[in-house]
Amino acid sequence: MVRYGYSMAHDKITHLEPRDSHLLCVELARRYLLVNFGVVFGDVDYAFQIFDLDTVVKVADGSNFALNKFVNGGSVRPERGSLLIWDPTGEMGITGHVAVVVDATDSYVDIVEQNVEDTIWPTGQRYSRRLKVKQNSTSYFVEKWYDEEHLLGWATVDLTKPVVLNATTSILPSTSVVLSIVGISAAVVFVVLRKRRHDYALMR
């Protein structure tokens, strides 16, 4: 199936080939961190691999900061800007999935995402899905949306925690990834289908 994403610079639908559809959620997460925190994470082939990363890099000066990971059901709740990450099983098979948290409360977590339900947001709604939460004094657990899925947990950027890497280690994304962030609008063919509400409205 061909999926459609949105350009942050143009209110138009961008056409992507089927082989690229699994990258839409990763591209949204990467752009969100870049726009809101000025950082990016390293190269990944699939969304679930983001949970294996330990650091992000500040684009302005190349400095590294911690990317803290928390398992679903642990004591630390996600916050605005955290990345929810699913493993590659069930509905998120093969690639896994990543979504951006835009609100987290005692009873629910609101996320924005690409390439899951692809529905038009109702007027006034500012999230893709609202996930129910079970919480007690020691646990914060985000419940399943689909019967067959497994949420690994979430990753949160910590700009108060610099990380010094050794000289042979670098998490800077490849040139192709950087170009996809900066020039994604020029790298794809724009196909205007119809005016739709989209996830990038929350990026600023």
Catalytic residues: 25
- How many angstroms separate the CA atoms of 47 and 51, rounded? 8
127 Cβ contact partners less than 8 Å away, ≥ 6 residues apart: 102, 103, 110, 111, 112, 121, 202
- How many angstroms separate the CA atoms of 137 and 93, rounded? 32
Amino acid letter, residue 33: L
